[in-house]
Structure 1
Amino acid sequence: MDIPARWTFLTGHARVLLAIARDPALRLRDIAATCWITERTAQTIVADLEQAGYLRRERMGRRNRYTLVSDRPLRHPAESHLHVRALLALLGRP
């Protein structure tokens, strides 16, 4: 019996972070498609991650290239002793 998903293990922020880790040159529309979110939501999440210091955005011509800051601690107090690199390693992206 299939039960409709009401919750997931990963937030949109984690999915966007993982998508950028896989390809730092992704366009916002590609991030959105990969993460199954709207382009506007992707833009908001990228801005959140950049403002919090989890990624840096560099303009290269008409495109952006992202750099993850993998030594930043995770935000929730229960995981604040772990860094982004641990999350990426757990999800298969060292």
Structure 2
Amino acid sequence: MEPVEPRTGWTFVTNHARILAMILRDPEIRLRDMAENCQLTERAAQAIVKDLENAGYLTRVRHGRRNHYAVTPGTVFRHPAEGQHEITDLLHLLVDMESRVHASGRPPAGSGRQEADLHG
């Protein structure tokens, strides 16, 4: 029996969730930094921010040449299977996980590899 190749092209955390977590951690994060952290183009990151803004998950206010983002309190998951839980519960978990990775000095697992999940 041949070994089964692992499925690729999916991740547990979508780029939408990653970007929203970055905004929660740093409300003045640059679009360029969001894109770099998610291994996306700036245009793809901008489309995700627009999706999140249109869906009511964040607000954006221009401060001079920079944007200031805010995660909208009380917003819930979009899929009915997740119930009426607030999205910030997941975002705080992601922010905490990233903080622990940075504190340990270890690169995140899979770093250096391009994620195939560009639209999630």
Q: Shorter-normalised TM-score: what interval?
A: 0.7 to 0.9
- Give the partner amino acid of 1:75: R
Q: Runs of 4+ in structure 1 displaced over 4 angstroms?
A: none
Q: For structure 1, which runs of at least 5 residues remain unmatched after alignment?
A: none
Q: For structure 2, which runs of at least 5 residues remain unmatched after alignment?
A: 1-5, 97-120
How many Å apart are 1:5 and its aligned residue? Answer: 4.2
1:91 is aligned to 2:103: no
Alpha-carbon displacement from aligned partner over 1:65-86 (angstroms, at most 9, x marks no partner):
0000131011011114111121
Q: How many residues align?
A: 92
- Say what the alpha-carbon RMSD is for the aligned residues: 1.8
CA distance in 1 between counterparts of 2:55 and 2:29 reads 20
Using structure 1 for the length normalisation, give the TM-score.
0.87
**Structure with bigger RCO (C-alpha 8 Å, 6+ apart):** 2
Partner of 1:9: 12
* Larger mean Cα displacement after TM superposition, 44-53 or 80-89: 80-89
Instruction: Give matches, 1:1-94, under 5 Å.
Output: 5-93=8-96
CA distance in 1 between counterparts of 2:95 and 2:30 reads 22
Alpha-carbon displacement from aligned partner over 1:18-68 (angstroms, at most 9, x marks no partner):
111111101111110111111001000000000111000010001100000
CA distance in 2 between counterparts of 1:20 and 1:35 reads 13
